[in-house]
Every structure is written in structure tokens, then in C-alpha cells.
Amino acid sequence: MKKILLFILILCYSLGNAQEYLNNTTIIPAPNFHKATGDSIAIKGQIKIVFKNNKYTLKELKTAQLFESVINKNTPKKKAGILVQFTTEPASAKEDKEAYKINITKKGIFVTGQEQGLFYAVQSLLQLLPNNLTVSSQIKLPCVEIIDQPRYPYRGLHLDVCRHFFSADVIKDFIAQMSYYKLNNFHWHLTDDQGWRIEIKKYPKLTEIGSKRAQTLVGNKFERFPRFFDNIPYGGYYTQEEIKDVVKFAEEHFVNVIPEIEMPGHASAAVAAYPNLACFPSTDLKVIESWGVFEDVFCAGKEETFIFLEDVLKEVMTLFPSEYIHIGGDECPKSRWEKCPNCQKRIKDLGLKNEHELQSYFIKRMEKFLNANGRQIFGWDEILEGGLAPNAAVMSWRGESGGIAAARDKHKVVMTPEDYVYFDHNQGYSLQEPLSVGRLTTVHEVYNYNPTPVDSLTIEQQKYIHGVQANIWSEYVTSPAKLNYMLYPRLFPFAEIAWTETKNKNYPNLMLKRFPHHIEKLESQKRLYKVPTPFGIQDTAIVASKYILEMQPTIKNGQIFYTIDGYNPDETASKYTKPVTVYIPKGEFRNIKVVQISPSGRRSSITTISVKNSETQPALAIKPTKNGLKYSYTNKLVQQTLELDTIKFTKSGIHEGVIEMKRYKSKENLYMGLKFEGYIYIPETAQYELSTIVDDGAKLFIDNQLIVDNDERHWINEAFGAAKLEKGFHKINISYFDAAGSSTLQCFIRQEGKEKQEISASQLYYE
């Protein structure tokens, strides 16, 4: 009995502890064990780190000096009188080389780990220091015990430098930022249709011709705003010297650099430089000036293609020590191969079934070459089509299905699904965001993503999930400032899902304790970031007679303002200091709008909470049909129609974004469609313009009449339609088709002469 009691006591203690244990930390990603005593230690002067038994490597010494220099720069020029001791551990196959321990007591700071572990320990120590250090009488550190190691061995960030180029200095800064948040793989996307960015000595035209384009598309691929070309030549590439320097810098930060040389698709820049590598050589081949998928790919029939690529990879291997080389493999149209006599001959000679098998042949051949040189390949999940190369590792970007299939097949997998970890997507409603590729990926969505698909894989298969990677594609990322904006703050939840065990994640703690600390640091560095929305609210629509507005800032000294008059809030609006009750008289509705403003005057997206009391419908309400709002999907491959669950709109508001038909993932098939039916309320009889943005095709019907047709164009596009609509309810019906397996549909409406509005979750009502 006593034992049971004791067990219950321990259980209660540890459960309580699990929630509380992070309260005092400022570390991102959250350490996997963290215990604070509540005391602190004051560093009142200069420190000198001692290595136990005087054992250390040069890298370990550098790590120690990094910490020393930050402390000693900011403390008086006298001895601190505390012990700072590093204990180095020799590399061992048993222990995780990235693990570390920190013990801060009243006596001093004690750190243990192998080379990389020590480096991460110092990143944690740096994050425990107050921001805005200046020389003062002392620096305080909390007394804590930390025992930490990563959940995944692969924690990556990808950057596309082809659509827009970033200098070697920007790349180094990017890598330094990564390592501060304990990310360890930088995937450098070096070649694409819009530019070849790596010097290859044997093929100088790759950079002479391939790194330059005549002009660039301004504005979006779709026609929300006018689109035009800027008529300004654009270019840039890294010399081999610069690359060596970046790789060395990354090594010092324990970041492995994985170069990507795209093949067989996304190769327009290469074939513009060397037209003989295309199926149909022509002087018309040029470096592409807009975005999308293009048809002139590497010819898979000619031997010279393979000779060229092997030569390129030989030089790449001398520059990058990484075990893995990324060979791309995504989005390769087969239209040229279908007509190319060389490709068709190869298909025939090898007895291949089709062009997919030809692509598979291509990848396998490149893998063989790289394997023979002691390297392994990474490819996007399209490399599964037509048969996976024997040792290839897969990056699953079109949802998780590719990764699941590869893991079941015992291949290494890195999860990088576009729905959760594409940092080129919007961070808020598109009309409040700078131009981007579209879609919506919020901090909350990133944080909720679990890279291991526990329901689809056995424990044994789960071991093949090596980690997770966030991708930044740069079609619309035109400057280093915008790069930071897209990265922050999403990097924070991302680092945590990559490092911290699921059971140790704590969303309120991240948002309320650690976001403010790290965002303050960004402010002090004058680094651009997206201001997060306050904690506790989200875009939603509910039916009620009163609403209690209760929220907390997610940035230090963040001010929150709100309106109930429908206007967008700014500093002139009501300032939020404590919970506010908003009453809604019968028959009326209120749109409560909230904004958070940083001390430097930067602002978050506006959150809208629509509350209605009674049956009166506000403008643009979408009401469920008799059976609720229905989503169904058709599966193009097997020609069947399945009905999904009726979507119910609950108080918490299950939809954060636009009428989202993303989030539905077809597990096995890549082609799918979705249908949506409901009613839209039109407040005034007038002429309306409607539009939809989707990747790839959509049709919007009002009262059974086709109004908007996006066609089945590939790539995100916006299509328009117009209709005269009478005041009152109209049936709205949208169906869409998506080739990649997951997508977002956005719908807009504009009354003639008025502002365009997104038909969004805040206009969706449930009964």
C-alpha cells in the first residue's frame, strides 16, 4: 500500500513538474530535461573556463572562448571568482554526440559533452543570458540542471538561392542563426531554371550564361495585382573559394552543408548554357525569368548529359564533404522525353515501361556514380515514381505519403511537407502579408506538426524518419530582410519540433515565456520578423450574446489594441489591459478585431472574431447546407468518389485560414479533388467580382452557374469571374483539383467600387 501511495505521490509530482519545469527557461528549442532551483548566480567579473583534466580539442577551446568572450565583454575588468568548468567527453558510439549537460549552482557553471554537445551547451548558456547585455556590475544566470539531447539526428533548413540570390555573407549569417537554434543541416539549393549559382571550372558557361537572366517577373504569378517584368538583368553565383569558405564556416558551427544540383528537371539555366544537354538544342533556350515548372529538362537519352553531370558532381564533391548530395528529382515534365528520339531509344533499349521509369533510370545511374565515390543521394519524393534508387534517402515534400512509402521500404527519410514547414508560405491572411507564393503556414501549425507519422508506421519503420526540414523557396524572397521575415518567428516552433521530444513540448510556455525573450533579441539585432498575434485568440466565428476577450502579449512590452466597430485597429483603438466583455444585442453582430504592436512600432496580422446573436446574417456569411458543410474528394487515379466527414464548425473554430480545403491528405494517391457546398449571404444587390487562387485547378459555381474557372493550369494561379447578385442567400459550390496532394484554396469577393474581401473563416458560421 505504502508503495502505491509513494508511486501516486511521485506521479503527481512529476506530472505537476512536467507542466512547470520550463517556466524559467529562455531556451529554444526546449531542453529535454530542465530543472530550475529558483536561485541564481551572479557573474561579477571576468571568467576563465577550465577544462577538466586539461583535456580539450581546438574546436572545444573555441567553443569555450565564445562563451568567455560574451561574458568578459560585458563584465567589469576583475576576476569573477566563480568556477566555469567544461568536461569534455571522447567521441563514443554509444552516446549521442550532440547531447550535453549543464549544471549551474551557486558555485559555478559546469558543462559536459562531446565536441558538438559542448557547442550546443554554450548556445543554451547564451540563451539563458539576458538580452541587451551592457557592461554592468554583474550578469545573472539562473541555477539550473539541464540534461539534453535531440529527438532527431537531422534538423535541416533549406534555402533556394536561384530564384533570388543571397551573398555568401548572408548565407553565413543564415547558418549562424541555424546553429543558435541547434539545427545541423543546411540544404543549399544551388541550381534551378532561373539561375545556376555554383562555379564549375570545367563548364564556365554555367556561370557566364547560366547565372544570369535578362529580367525578372515582378508581382505574382497570378493576377491579384498587375504583373510585369522589370527589364533589369539579374544574376549572381558563388566562386569555389566562397563555397569553401562557407563550408568551413558551417563546420565551425556544426552544420553540415548539403548541396543540391537539380536533375533531370528544373534545368533551364544549365541547358541555356549548354543547349546540347537538352532533348532539342536551340538558341531559344534561355534562363527563365518567371516561376513555375518548365519543359526543357536534361535529356535522358544522350550520354553527354551523364558525362556532364558526373563532371559537375566531381567538382561538387571536392567542395562539399557532406556524405549526402541532393540531386533534386522534383517536378520533371516528361513532354520533351516523349518526343525525343534519344530518350525513346533508351526506353526501348532498356525495356523500360515509360518516361517515369526513364527518370528512375536517370536517378539510379547518378546514385551509382555517387555511391562509387563514397557519397549518398537525397532526392525529393518524386524519385519514388518509377522505382526508388537502392540507397537513396527521400525528402517528402508533397505531404507525408512519399516519406511513409520510403520508410516502409527501409529508406532514410526527412519530412518536409509543404503544408507544415514551407516557410515561403504566408504567415497570416494573404491580403495582410507581403507578396508570397500564397498558402498559409502559421507558428501554431508548425508547432503542431509531428514529423514521425506514428499512425502509419510501425516502431521499427519510424526509425527511418531521420528528421525534419523547413524549406525556403525564394521566388518572392527578394532580399535578406524578407528572408528574415519569412524565417522568424516560425524558426522557433520549427527548432523545437526538430529537437524536443513531443512530451516535453509546451505551447503556452513557448508563446508566453520564450517568444518574448527571443523576439526581443531580434529587435535588438534589428532583424526583421513577423510580429506574432497575441496568445489566446484566433480568427473565428461564433454565435453568442456576449464574448469575453481575453489574451496575453507574445512579445516583451507588446501593446494590444482592439476595435468592435469593424475598423482595423491601430494605436488609436482601445488598448487592451484586462479581459473585456463584449455584449451583442439580439439580432446584431460584432467583429472584434485585434492587433499586437511591438515597441518599435511593428504590427501583427489582425485577428477577427465575429460574434453574432440571432439568425440575422452579416455580410458574406456562409451558412451550412442542411447536412452541414460538406467536403468530398474524388480520386483521379482510381476514379472513385469518397465522402469525407461533414465539417463541423466548433466554438474553437477549426479553421484558421481561408476556406481551407488543404489539410486533407490522401494517403496513397497523389491526384485528388475536393468539393465544397454552402450558402453565401450577399448584403446588397450589386455587381460582384469573384476570384479563386489555387494550385492547380478550381471551379466556383453560384446558384449552379459557373462563375470562376481556374482551369487545370499547373502552379498557383488566380482566376476571376463576375456576376450580378441579388441581396440574400446564394448557393455556392466550389470544386477543386490538386496534383500534388495538398493545397489551399482561397476565395475572394469584391463588390463593384469596394475593397476586395477574402471569403474566410471569420465569415463561416455554425449553428
Least CB distance to ligand NAG at residue 380 (A) = 5
DSSP secondary structure code for residue 618 in this structure: P
Grid cell for residue 60:
572545444
3-state secondary structure of 439: coil
Q: Are the C-beta atoms of 191 and 160 separated by less than 8 Å? A: no
DSSP secondary structure code for residue 637 in this structure: T
In the complex with ligand NAG, which residue's Cβ is closer, 221 or 517? Answer: 221
Cα–Cα distances in angstroms (integers) from residue 106 to residues 26, 39, 81, 143, 654, in the given order? 19, 8, 11, 7, 48
Binding letters toward ligand NAG, positions 456-495, x by CB under 6 A? -----------------x-x--------------------
- Should residue 330 be labelled a site residue for ligand NAG when binding is judged by CB under 6 A? yes
Cα–Cα distances in angstroms (integers) from residue 685 to residues 114, 362, 623, 682, 759, in the given order? 71, 59, 19, 7, 18
Give me the residues paired with residue 688 across strands.
723, 751
In the complex with ligand NAG, which residue's Cβ is closer, 63 or 416? Answer: 416
Least CB distance to ligand NAG at residue 398 (A) = 8
Grid cell for residue 560:
494590444
How many CB atoms within 10 Å of residue 723? 15
Q: Are the C-beta atoms of 444 and 537 separated by less than 8 Å? A: no
Least CB distance to ligand NAG at residue 247 (A) = 23
Least CB distance to ligand NAG at residue 475 (A) = 6
Interface pick for ligand NAG out of 60, 260, 424, 656 (rule CB under 6 A): 424
Give me the residues paired with residue 263 across strands.
328
CA-closest candidate to residue 275, choices 248, 297, 303, 253: 297
Least CB distance to ligand NAG at residue 722 (A) = 30
Q: Is 331 a catalytic residue?
A: yes
- DSSP for 410-461, written as a single string: T--EEE--HHHHBTTSBSS-GGGS-S-S--B--HHHHHH--SS-TTTS-HHH
Q: At which residue does the C-alpha cell 548565407 appear?
A: 171
In the complex with ligand NAG, which residue's Cβ is closer, 110 or 397? Answer: 397
Interface pick for ligand NAG out of 270, 325, 370, 437 (rule CB under 6 A): 437
3-state secondary structure of 364: helix
Q: Could you tell me how many residues of this chain bind ligand NAG (CB under 6 A)?
A: 9
Shortest-Cβ-distance residue relative to ligand NAG: 473
The continuous run of DSSP H or E covering 562 comes out as: strand 559-563
The burial of 90, by beta-carbon neighbours within 10 Å (0-12 exposed, 13-18 middle, 19 or more buried), is given as exposed
In the complex with ligand NAG, which residue's Cβ is closer, 251 or 289? Answer: 289
In the complex with ligand NAG, which residue's Cβ is closer, 160 or 520? Answer: 160
> d(Cα 109, Cα 52) in Å, to the nearest integer?
13
Q: Are the C-beta atoms of 426 and 433 separated by less than 8 Å? A: yes
Interface pick for ligand NAG out of 422, 488, 499, 631 (rule CB under 6 A): 422
- Should residue 165 be labelled a site residue for ligand NAG when binding is judged by CB under 6 A? no
In the complex with ligand NAG, which residue's Cβ is closer, 424 or 718? Answer: 424
Interface pick for ligand NAG out of 331, 496, 520, 738 (rule CB under 6 A): 331
Interface pick for ligand NAG out of 196, 337, 361, 397 (rule CB under 6 A): 397
Interface pick for ligand NAG out of 196, 320, 337, 380 (rule CB under 6 A): 380
- Should residue 674 be labelled a site residue for ligand NAG when binding is judged by CB under 6 A? no
Binding letters toward ligand NAG, positions 48-77, x by CB under 6 A? ------------------------------
Which of 60, 199, 262, 331 does the annotation list as catalytic? 331
Q: Which residues bind ligand NAG (CB under 6 A)?
A: 330-331, 380, 397, 422, 424, 437, 473, 475
Report the catalytic residues. 331
